[in-house]
Structure 1
Amino acid sequence: MSGLAGEGAELARLRATVAGLATRLGMLEDQVAISQVIARYGPAVDSGSAAAAAALWADDGVFEVPPYAVWTGHAQIAGMVDGAGHQELIANGCGHVLTAPLVSVDGDEARAWNYAMNIRWDAGQDRFWVARVSANLWHLRRGPAGWQVTHRTNRSLDGTEEARALFRPSTDSGASARPREDR
Structure 2
Amino acid sequence: MSTEERLAALEQRLRELEDREAIVELIAGYGPFVDGGAAEDVAAQWTEDGVYDVDEITMHGRKQLRAMVRSDNHQGWIKGGCAHFLGPVKVTLAGDEAIAVCHSLMVVNKGGAFEQAPDFVVRRATAHHFELVRTDEGWLVAKRTSRVLDGRAESPELLVKGARGEKA
Aligned partners of 2:21 and 2:150: how far apart in 1? 30
Corresponding position: 1:28 with 2:12:
no
**1:126 to partner: Cα distance:** 2.3
| Number of aligned positions between the proteins | 162
Structure 2 counterparts to residues 140-155 of structure 1, below 5 A: 140-155=132-147
Matched, 1:110 2:102: no
Inter-partner Cα distance in structure 1 for 2:97 and 2:144? 14
2 CA distance for matches of 1:117 and 1:109?
26
Structure-1 residue corresponding to 2:40: 51
Residues 81-118 of structure 1: CA deviation (Å, up to 9, x unaligned): 00000000000000011012100110111110000111
Q: Deviations over 1:25-63 (max 9, x none)?
A: 000000000111101100111000000000000000011
Q: Which sections of structure 2, spanning at least 5 residues, go unmatched?
A: none
In percent, how many aligned pairs have the same letter?
A: 37
Cα drift, residue 17 of structure 1: 1.1
Q: Please give the per-residue CA displacement for 1:99-153, whole angstroms capped at 9, x wherever unaligned.
A: 1210011011111000011100122472211000000000000111111000000
Note closer, same or farther for the CA distance 1:72–1:140 as it changes in structure 2 (3 Å cut): same
**For the residues of structure 2 that align with 1:93 and 1:161, how far apart are their CA atoms?**
31
Please state whether the residue corresponding to 1:39 is helix, strand or coil. Answer: helix
Residues 129 and 162 of structure 2 are in contact (CA less than 8 Å); yes or no, is this contact kept in structure 1?
no
| Aligned partner letter, 2:9 | G
2-structure distance, mates of 1:140, 1:56: 10
Which whole-Å CA distance do the structure 2 matches of 1:36 and 1:146 have between them?
11
Q: What letter corresponds to residue 22 of structure 1 in structure 2?
A: E
**Runs of 4+ with >4 A deviation:** none
1:132 aligns with 2:132: no
**1:79 matched to 2:71:** no
Structure 1: segments with no counterpart, 5+ residues = 1-11, 177-183
- Which residue in the other structure is 2:158 paired with? 166
What residue identity is the alignment partner of 1:113?
V
TM-score by length of 1: 0.85
1:121 corresponds to 2:95: no
Letter in 1 for 2:24: S
Judge conservation of contact 2:100–2:163 (CA < 8 Å) in 1.
no
Give the letter aligned to residue 94 of structure 2. D
Larger Rg: 1
Q: Does 1:92 align with 2:80?
A: yes
RMSD: 1.5
